[in-house]
Structure 1
């Protein structure tokens, strides 16, 4: 069911929803940017639709709502272990089509890739999604080529329409309130991008031989291994575990799951001091092939959703889409080497 609402009407709806859900959306944090006196657009709790930024891409994804940067899993004492409680409220998240496709990737990793992760599931089962329509392409995005520019799997959609909003509702639990607050009912189709300036071409028949291409060596010196690309990515899922001992009793403490990155030095270190990927180019290779080769073999679709945030955030101006477009030449290189 579709509805047309004023800003006041939508804010009244959000006020009612806030009784059951913590509402998150891309909002502006003044002076919170990477440089002096610059703002940052990232996800945070909102109380009004006026706080939500509709006309710019958020620098960080929605991911930290489902996967907190630092998440306590359980508390322990000398003789007991207690699992941490989940959030007391559910969550209502405003996000764009590419990010909503990212939810599918996170679900694959945490719910279907072996035994389900109970901590992720505890949060995920109480989350509803509000699709934000995209009227124009974003910088560095290539969602169209990956088929993530359109999404129909949402609870609500919200599009700006002049001074008001157009809302499509697919969850009957929200219908009664929207009917009371709307100006009129009408058919609503969320806006979506149909073409992007940045294009990617993923070669057919790419296989593990691409690991032997010389293209990866360029990133040994270009990449500095900061991991920013992983942290802003809506589909990266690497983490490490930390045991925190309490100062007043070292036999009590907590275990936390903390974001980590396959791109940083030390992530692949094993007992005895060995490391599976010592060079930055090897880490870049692992990340790219995980997004476009190994994950697809298992799940049937690419892990990357084409949001372009990795290009936006890289301090060395490394283009992920450019790297993907070089895979075809890399495959030809290794095929030629095999034939010699």
Structure 2
């Protein structure tokens, strides 16, 4: 399904989604991030990529699995399985869209995570193609993507200046387009030619190369014990920004948080965790198999470009570049791959 939407009718389309929770990029505190769209509020899709990825709509940073308490010596459990409203997120860049099928695989391949899927199944992603790179650190094409990739998205919008080309990709995407049918115009051959021209131009922008993508897993494997990892990680401060902002990092911890003087009530909570934290692999014995910065950097890179490839037949990185742009000490995953590949 393909339609044309004039810029001034975007709000009118959003208004047809009155039973949904709608989010879109908003600029605040010097960054773009997703924010809930209030009734009547304008939507600005002139954004660069958001600072945080779209993954948290299905996999929040903190969630309660269940609550527990003891009454008269009897343990009681209260489930907190989420039942959210349908959620529509506008302005999702293709690199973030490509992250969602990778997360879907993680949360379903061997065990279907009911908390993740309760949100995911009610989530519709309205993508926005990139007409030009939004950062010098974008490298989506180097990892098999493109500035107008449809992977993981339900709708892809392309900005044509005074109007958008809107393409429904999945049944969920077509359904919300049908709800706004009166806001759309028909597509003509001239519109399609312009879409192709915009997409061709977006692909022509130079991006940072990472060499032979198929050869990288073996390069990482063959340099597992290389001193390069320690050298490249010596400035790391273990803050975890690289993984918390990543659209595909998914490690988590589960803890029981208790309350009350006798710890007779509390919650079982899942929170994001991070392979760059020193206690991430700490054993109860006190031994830590990745106790230094170099081994933790090696783990992050290996997970994305070696282990994920072995387990799921695709690399985990989508080339958004957040981990490079936001690293406070300038660690650059593309430069790391280049060093390992050329060693």
Which residue number corresponds to residue 134 of structure 2?
Answer: 138
Q: CA deviation at 1:157?
A: 2.0
Could you report, residue by residue, the CA deviation over 1:294-327 in whole angstroms, capped at 9, with x for unpaired residues?
1101111100011100001100011111111122
TM-score by length of 1: 0.87
Distance, in Å, in 1 between the alignment partners of 2:155 and 2:240 is 33
Contact 1:25 1:46 in 2 (8 A): yes
User: Superposition pairs for residues 256-275 of structure 1, below 5 Å?
Assistant: 256-275=269-288
Which residue number corresponds to residue 12 of structure 1?
Answer: 12
Which residue number corresponds to residue 102 of structure 2?
Answer: 105
Distance, in Å, in 2 between the alignment partners of 1:251 and 1:13 is 50
Which residue number corresponds to residue 334 of structure 1?
Answer: none
Which residue number corresponds to residue 149 of structure 2?
Answer: 151
Q: CA deviation at 1:66?
A: 1.2
Contact 1:206 1:293 in 2 (8 A): no
Distance, in Å, in 1 between the alignment partners of 2:111 and 2:56 is 22
Segments of structure 2 that go 5 or more residues without pairing to the other structure are none
SS for the counterpart of 1:254 is: strand
Distance, in Å, in 2 between the alignment partners of 1:158 and 1:134 is 10
Residues 55 and 175 of structure 1, relative CA distance in 2, 3 Å threshold: closer
Is 1:217 matched up with 2:264?
no
Q: CA deviation at 1:215?
A: 1.0
Residues 175 and 314 of structure 1, relative CA distance in 2, 3 Å threshold: closer
SS for the counterpart of 2:234 is: helix
Distance, in Å, in 2 between the alignment partners of 1:49 and 1:235 is 30
TM-score by length of 2: 0.86
Contact 2:57 2:123 in 1 (8 A): no
Residues 175 and 56 of structure 1, relative CA distance in 2, 3 Å threshold: closer
Is 1:56 matched up with 2:48?
yes
User: Superposition pairs for residues 249-328 of structure 1, below 5 Å?
Assistant: 250-328=263-341
Which residue number corresponds to residue 35 of structure 1?
Answer: none
SS for the counterpart of 2:223 is: helix
Name the stretch that deviates more: 164-173 or 189-198: 189-198
Aligned length: 320
SS for the counterpart of 1:80 is: strand
Which residue number corresponds to residue 186 of structure 2?
Answer: 184
Contact 1:46 1:52 in 2 (8 A): no
Q: CA deviation at 1:175?
A: 4.0
Distance, in Å, in 1 between the alignment partners of 2:25 and 2:252 is 24
Segments of structure 1 that go 5 or more residues without pairing to the other structure are 33-38, 331-340
Distance, in Å, in 1 between the alignment partners of 2:187 and 2:262 is 61
Q: CA deviation at 1:85?
A: 3.4
Q: 1:40 aligns with which of 6, 31, 45?
A: 31
Distance, in Å, in 2 between the alignment partners of 1:151 and 1:41 is 21
